[in-house]
Amino acid sequence: MIQRGEKEAMDAQELKENTEHAQHKGEKGVGLTMAIVAVLLAVATQLSHRAHTEEIKLQTKVNDGWQFYQAKHSRAHEYGKYAENEAAANQPDLAAKDLKISIAEECGSPVEGNCTSPVMRESAILRQLVKQAGETKSGKGEEHAGSAPESAKAASASPEEKASTREKSRKERPQRKDGAVDIQEKTHDLEKETDLMTTKADHYDSAELFLEISIVLCSISLLAETKLYWRLSFVSTAIGIGISFWGWFLR
């Protein structure tokens, strides 16, 4: 019992001496620095994991987008060829129907801008078909030129009636369906977003590296009982924090 009491007293004395020695050598400050850097490292690691996860999700959407685009574009080309063959076989009604499907698959519905079927760009037969359809439509318009136009009625309407008509037209307007061109544009935007997220993830990975170097420098400082490596750890920590903020504010 006496020997055990003496041993406990010696252990307590040794712990006290080690504490005083650590405080004298600045080891308390080094340990506190290591704890703070460890917290910063955990934050950088979490940001890195989230960025890589988001990168994978975006890349999956990009792959799906290109597959969808390829399917729509192929379908537009297929129906365009059907229309071309039917126009050559003097079947204008069937050709017009398939050409309409081709344009809808390529350009969406309703069509915006000067978008058209991919086959029509190189097919004189389809261009002629569209030209004839336009002339027929123009002729029908001239036949009904004597009737009262809707624009005259709209011009005489009150502001409240005009607003009501616009609101009704907006509600009745069918929801736009994306075509191959729209999907291609959206997929390009997703690719840019994916590249940005990849850059962010790379910055967070680099920040992790510098913060890990800081912890190693602090450990060396404790083992070598010198403050030189501890002071160097502040440099690597500052670099790590700076790179993290750089990645965070990337747009």
Separation CA 48–CA 110 (nearest Å): 42
Per residue in 210-251, pLDDT (tens digit) is 999 999 999 898 888 788 899 999 999 999 999 999 999 988
Per residue in 148-200, pLDDT (tens digit) is 344 334 444 455 554 565 555 555 556 778 889 999 999 999 999 999 999 99
Average pLDDT of span 54-58: 95
Q: Are 88 and 244 in contact (CB under 8 A)?
A: no
Separation CA 146–CA 149 (nearest Å): 9
Q: Which of 138, 80, 82, 131 is nearest to 105 (CA)?
A: 80
* pLDDT score recorded for residue 10: 52
Within-domain flag for 204? yes
Within-domain flag for 235? yes
What's the distance, CA 186 to chain centroid?
10
Separation CA 198–CA 59 (nearest Å): 10
Q: Are 179 and 107 in contact (CB under 8 A)?
A: yes
* pLDDT score recorded for residue 164: 62
Q: Are 180 and 72 in contact (CB under 8 A)?
A: yes
Within-domain flag for 22? no
Nearest-10 Cα torsion for 74, 75, 80, 86: 130
Within-domain flag for 67? yes
The range of the structural domain enclosing residue 99 comes to: 28-135+176-248
Domain count along the chain:
1
Within-domain flag for 45? yes
Q: Is a pLDDT exceeding 50 seen at residue 74?
A: yes
Separation CA 138–CA 164 (nearest Å): 30
Nearest-10 Cα torsion for 205, 209, 215, 220: 170
Q: Are 41 and 216 in contact (CB under 8 A)?
A: no
Cα dist. 76→102, 106, 109, 244 in Å?
A: 4, 5, 13, 46
Helices and strands (H and E) in the chain: how many? 8, 0
Cα dist. 50→55, 206, 207, 210, 250 in Å?
A: 8, 15, 14, 19, 15
Within-domain flag for 150? no
Within-domain flag for 23? no
Within-domain flag for 61? yes
Average pLDDT, the chain: 79
Q: Which residues of 206-237 are buried (b: 16+ CB within 10 A; e: fewer)?
A: bbbebbbbbbebbebbbeeeeeebbebbeebb
